[in-house]
Amino acid sequence: MPDQEFVSEGAESVVEFAIGGMTCAACSTRLEKVLNRQPGMQANVNLAAERARVRLQGAAVEAVIAAVAKAGFTAVPVDAGTREREKIAKQQAYRQELRHFWVALALTLPLVGQMVFMFGEGGHDNELPRWLQLALATPVQFWIGARFYDGAWKSLRGGGANMDVLVALGTSMAWIFSTVVTVFGLHEQHVYFEGAAAVITLVLLGKLLEARAKARTSAAIESLIRLRPKVARIERAGHWVDVPVDALMPGDVFLVRPGESVPVDGVVEEGDSSVDEAMLTGESMPVGKRTGDQVFAATSNGSGSLRCRATGVGEATLLAGIIRMVGEAQGSKAPVQRLADRISSIFVPAVCAIALLTFLLWWWLGGDFAAALVNSVAVLVIACPCALGLATPTAIMVGTGQGAQAGILVRNAEALERAEKITVLALDKTGTLTQGRPRLTDLFALVGDERQALRLAVALEQHSEHPLARAVLAAWQEQAGAAATGHELPAVSQFNAITGQGVEAWVDDQQFRLGAPDWLGQAEAPQVLALQGQGKTVIVLARIEAAGVVVPLAYLAVADTLRASSRAAVQRLQQRGIKVVMLTGDNAATAAVIAREAGIEDFRTGILPAGKAAAINALKTAGSVVAMVGDGINDAPALAAADVSFAIGAGSDAAIEAADLTLIRSDLMGVADAISLSAATLGKIRQNLFFAFIYNVVGIPLAALGYLNPVFAGAAMALSSVSVVTSSLMLRRWRPGQ
């Protein structure tokens, strides 16, 4: 996201900020409310990613930073170097907090250890002198625990309350009571220095464990960033020189040697090799590259050298786009999180009220001030809004990261949530179910052999740009690659293209035609009818004799064949209870053949682009959750109309921009994988939210009823957040095909 100092009146942009100082869900919820109350700002704050995405409409970046600061946090606009700076800062902060934890542990262990001896003979006679307990607990309370007081003050100053308020309030009550007992020599009263110190130490431990676990949730995007090459070998004045990748410009010629990574996106100008694109597509098999093929930044070259021309550099590479899209998806908010947000906004005040009520009832009914204090402290300490706040974003971060590694790019969390609910999947035929390019499937020579017939057909078609001509030429090139000799083409003269019919030319003083069967009088030929019945387009090669007599020499059949994985993908979708519908502009015969091969029963033919959108809307009116898969510009209206839309990665920019999810690999199986990923992610979110709710629903009443010591309550609170993040990390086990 570019640095942006000022947004002029009426302009609109989205700026991402790195947020510092958030400690729990109450913080992120409050900050989001603060920003959304500001004029010209629409914000989305993510606790797990520590990011805020703000849509600015006539507001300045400085206004966002000021509003965030007033709420008690820090904000820095994200740029290309932010992630690396954040990583270094977090590592330094982690090391400092780790040192604080070891100090806190050293001071707390004697306080907790004495409790073991107090259960033996002598009871309280075995406890440490109270002045020593005060000396040990005070640094933990006010030096190690300073972060909780700072966070609580900023939260209250901003008009809210967060987890720091609960920890600071609970431990302070225990420390103040114990200090009063110690100073005034009230020996009949027990002191709770060990409780206050242990809670702070355990919460700090929980924060350290949580930080480590959260760092792992962004492992996928970090691995993508690490793939970026640092150096490129480019051509300068006839010489090859090594330069930083950032110095490359579109149009520069670069060399990729065997075993090297491709530095930027480009087109092969010379060379023949295979490239491992697994980091982009999830496909383990290398992809052959030759002149005219595209190569992508950070993919790994095989054994051949490639001379390429740069087409996309810097933030314009496919890899940069993936990183950007994954980051945006990880920072977005799923609708299922709204319930947790609403609860988090009232959570801390409600817990404080319960703690106060617990204190009053225990003191009033039991007459025991110490018991009332301990139980109210336990209520404050065990309550944890963090688990609620982390339940959704951590799962989204891991899920979208896993998707990116499998070649599934999620535009936002809402799309990921909706994908699980799909009941009808509409898809285009050409380029989605099929390869997207016609190829020669059959050649029947009526005179001579097939090689000679193909050679003559290529000679006639070599100057044509028609898709059928390209299919014939591609078949010839495949043969030429397999055999180096005998593939020279004969010379042609008097070439003429007849629109809608075919081509004609003279070869070796003989006239030949190549074109539609009805033009050459072969429309009723049995072989032609048989091939057309298979959904193939037939062209006829013929020699024209004296007096215009047509002598057919060969029949060539061209078809856009089904992708190898399409039938299995359709079957997998149907097994999930999803109805698959094919929408195509092709004729009924061709569509019927492809539908039959793919295992699709419902297909609509002769549909124009606007008709596809209308078909999607008709399916939606029946109450279905409708998804659309497409790859072309003509699919964009239908993609925009669908509840969930998928774009094949090899498709047009218009289709990709209109889609909710993009499949880098041109394979329908990616749709099934995306739906599987959605189900796994949403299942994990529901599991996280269930345990977060249950933890608080069960834990707070137990503490209020006196069944939980503050030390155990602190340990449970610390572990609750860790358990939610760890649960989300289990999503890393998801694999395509599940």
Summarize the confidence of residues 658-687 as an average pLDDT.
Answer: 85
Q: Write the DSSP string, 643-697.
A: SEEEEETTS-HHHHHH-SEEESSS-THHHHHHHHHHHHHHHHHHHHHHHHHHHHH
What is residue 473's predicted lDDT score, i.e. its pLDDT? Answer: 84
Asked if 684 and 731 count as a contact pair (C-beta separation under 8 A), the reply is yes
pLDDT band at 467 (very low <50, low <70, confident <90, very high): low
453-473 mean pLDDT: 80
- Least confident among 310-314, 429-433, 686-690: 429-433
Whether 6 has a pLDDT exceeding 50, the answer reads: no
Give me the pLDDT at residue 83, please.
66
Looking at residue 622, its pLDDT comes to 76
pLDDT higher at 541 or 339? 541
Q: What pLDDT score was predicted for residue 5?
A: 36
Q: In 10 A of CB 195, how many CB atoms? A: 30
Instruction: Write down the pLDDT at residue 483.
Output: 46
Q: Tell me the mean pLDDT in the region 697-703.
A: 85
Angular region, 448: left φ>0, alpha ψ -120 to 50, beta rest: left
Catalytically annotated residue among 265, 341, 428, 586: 428
Q: Please tell me the least confidently modeled range out of 74-88, 173-187, 326-340.
A: 326-340
Q: What is the arithmetic mean of pLDDT over 305-322? A: 81
- What the block records as the tokens of 284 is 């383990």
Most confident of 214-218, 440-444, 690-694: 440-444
Give mean pLDDT, residues 611-632: 83
Residue 62 is encoded by which pair of tokens?
A: 């400085």
The pLDDT assigned to 650 comes to: 52
Task: Report whether pLDDT(213) > 90.
Answer: no
Rounded Cα–Cα distance for residues 355 and 379 (Å): 6
Q: Which two tokens stand for residue 476?
A: 């010839």
Q: Give the CA distances from residue 495 to residues 469, 502, 505, 514, 632, in Å, rounded to whole numbers and listed in that order.
A: 14, 11, 4, 11, 33
Sort 133 into a burial class: Cβ within 10 Å, 0-12 / 13-18 / 19+: buried
pLDDT at 417 over 90: no
C-alpha separations of 169 from 139, 224, 592 in Å: 17, 43, 71
**Which tokens is 267 given?**
């087109």
Is pLDDT of 318 > 90? no
Check residue 102 and give its pLDDT: 93
Q: The pTM is what?
A: 0.65
**Residue 75 scores a pLDDT above 80:** yes
Q: Provide CB contacts within 8 A for 295, sequence distance 6+.
A: 256, 262, 265, 266, 267, 268, 275, 289, 306, 308
Q: Is 428 a catalytic residue?
A: yes
What's the CA dihedral at 304, 306, 312, 315 to 10 degrees? 40
**Which of 598, 211, 224 is closest to 406 using CA atoms?**
224
100-114, 487-501, 707-721, range with the lowest pLDDT: 707-721
SS (H, E, C) 197-262: HHHHHHHHHHHHHHHHHHHHHCHHHHHHHHCCCCEEEEEECCEEEEEEHHHCCCCCEEEECCCCEC
Share of the chain above pLDDT 70, in %: 81
User: Residues 556-568: what's their mean pLDDT?
Assistant: 85
> What pLDDT does 300 receive?
85
Whether pLDDT at 123 is above 60:
no
Residue 506 in 3-state DSSP?
strand
Separation between Cα atoms, residue 428 and residue 600, nearest integer Å = 12
Residue 453, pLDDT > 80, answer: yes
Strand locations in 41-165 (E): 41-46, 51-57, 74-77
What is the residue type of 250?
P
71 contacts 115 by C-beta, under 8 angstroms: no
When pLDDT is cut at 50, 70 and 90, the band that residue 609 belongs to is low
Q: Which residue has the higher pLDDT, 305 or 533?
A: 305
Is residue 8's pLDDT more than 50? no
DSSP 621-636: HTT--EEEEE-SGGGH
| Cα→Cα distances 609→185, 586, 636, Å | 86, 12, 8
By DSSP bridging, strand 537-544 and strand 550-559 are antiparallel
What number of other Cβ atoms are within 10 A of residue 212's Cβ? 12
Q: Among 297, 305, 241, which residue's Cα sits nearest to residue 271?
A: 305
What mean pLDDT, rounded, does the chain reach?
A: 79
C-beta neighbour count of 669 within 10 angstroms: 20
